[in-house]
Structure 1
Amino acid sequence: MSQEKEAGSPRLGVLRIALWCAALVGVAGVLYIIAQASITPRAKGGLTDLTRGEMSRLILPAEAAPAPVTSFLDAEGKPVRIGDFRGKVVVVNLWATWCAPCVLEMPTLARLAEAQKGRDVVVLAISIDREKDADKARAFIGKNAPLAFYHDPKSSLPFSLKPPTAAMPTTLIFGRDGVERARMLGEADWAGKDAAAVLDRLVDEK
């Protein structure tokens, strides 16, 4: 009997984490919609017809929100801001090693980054793991080239967004002007044609 419990406990642990992440995604989605009413000025349009397939859950903000000025760290420990990539379309993925959906979707973000090489698109996978888990997060990203390692050990960035997010993973897409154009709460396939169509539209904007 005790052996059965021991064998089942890891599965229960993974299930609890997955359910917890799913619950956070649901709550964060509701809060996101409510918070949109407090953000100005009005955001650009142009992506509504692309919220289909894998991008059907893509949230298009009703109001424009510039990228936060909060910094995070690159692989060498130097501070970086989303605004440093202004002029390019920036895909920001907030993730953690303890988040099962984050780990599951990461290879699709790696394939997206590979497919977008040579274009004005940057994919930033930013770990919010604590400092003690930084090496684990770094090793995981190392298996998902060409993604580079970025780290926000104090989890400051998710709460600097307008509106903030507690969902993991959360993926945000910023236009060339540094304004948030779309947000995905929860796991998605970023390697397919639906995600590519969204980025193509934003890259073509001048």
Structure 2
Amino acid sequence: MNDQSAARPRGRVLTWALWGAAAIGVAAVVYIIAQATTKPAPQAPVAASGAVPTASETHDVARKLEHTADGTAPPAYAFVDSAGKKVTPADFKGKVVVMNLWATWCAPCKIEMPTLAKLAKAYEGKPVAVVAVSIDKAEALEQAKAFLAQQAPLAFYNDPEAKLPWALKPAANGMPTTIILGKDGLERGRISGEADWSGAGARSVIDKLLAAG
């Protein structure tokens, strides 16, 4: 047998191997396409009633409340009030605290801030503190103060080093983040993202914590 005749079987084996690999590749592509076309499309969130939630329901505090760190003490991290005095979350012990981390560059923060002001107004004279802590840098402080004065009359607090979101355990998952503390000074829930603090859901959460003593 010469070299040419010996090469023919090897050539045929290689050809069949290549065709087999191509067939497997085509089959894989067909399978992926079939899966994509038969996989159900993602469904919109469904409310308890079975209907798609409205915009107000999507931002309802009671619906959005997370309990990832309930019963833990907030960090002993100091931020400052409008006079530059150092303040820590522990200074508000004895009150139900709604501590909101926000910034002027955060559009959802600015949208929800007036609802936090309405919450504070609704609980005037009661042991409830809405503590809005801006993480704006020095160059934006006047803008942040002006925004609160015009759109959401709340006491101004600032974290000049913007470290409070990272001091939380677990760390804040973006802006805005709101931590709710009971009168015992321990975390009792948190919300990541925008929420409507003027609705019945927020009042139900606050009232429950007030009644807890």
Report the TM-score when normalising by structure 1.
Answer: 0.72
Moved over 6 A (4+): none
What residue in structure 2 maps to residue 137 of structure 1?
144
Cross-structure match for 2:98: 91
How big is the shift at 1:54? 4.0
Judge conservation of contact 2:60–2:199 (CA < 8 Å) in 1. Answer: no
What TM-score, normalized by structure 2, do the two folds share? 0.70
Which of 200, 203, 206 aligns to 2:207? It is 200
CA distance, structure 1, for counterparts of residue 69 and residue 187 of structure 2: 10
Per the alignment, residue 3 of structure 1 pairs with none
- CA offsets, 1:46-65, max 9 Å, x none? xxxxxx94421210136521
1:69 is the counterpart of 2:73: no
- Structure-2 change in CA distance of 1:116 and 1:128 (3 Å): same
After TM superposition, list the pairs within 5 Å mapping 1:165-180 onto structure 2: 165-180=172-187
**Change in CA separation of 1:53 and 1:152 when aligned onto 2, cut-off 3 Å:** closer
SS in 2 for 1:155: coil
The answer to whether 1:157 aligns with 2:160 is no
**Cα pair 2:134 2:159 within 8 Å, conserved:** yes
| Structure with larger Rg | 2
Q: Percent identity?
A: 50
Correspondence 1:4-153 to 2 at 5 A: 53-61=60-68, 63-153=70-160
| Partner residue, 2:21 | none
What's the secondary structure of 2:64's corresponding residue?
Answer: coil
Runs (5+) with no aligned partner, structure 2: 1-58
Task: Give the root-mean-square deviation of aligned CA atoms.
Answer: 1.5
AA aligned to 1:132 is E
Deviation at 1:166, TM superposition (A): 3.9
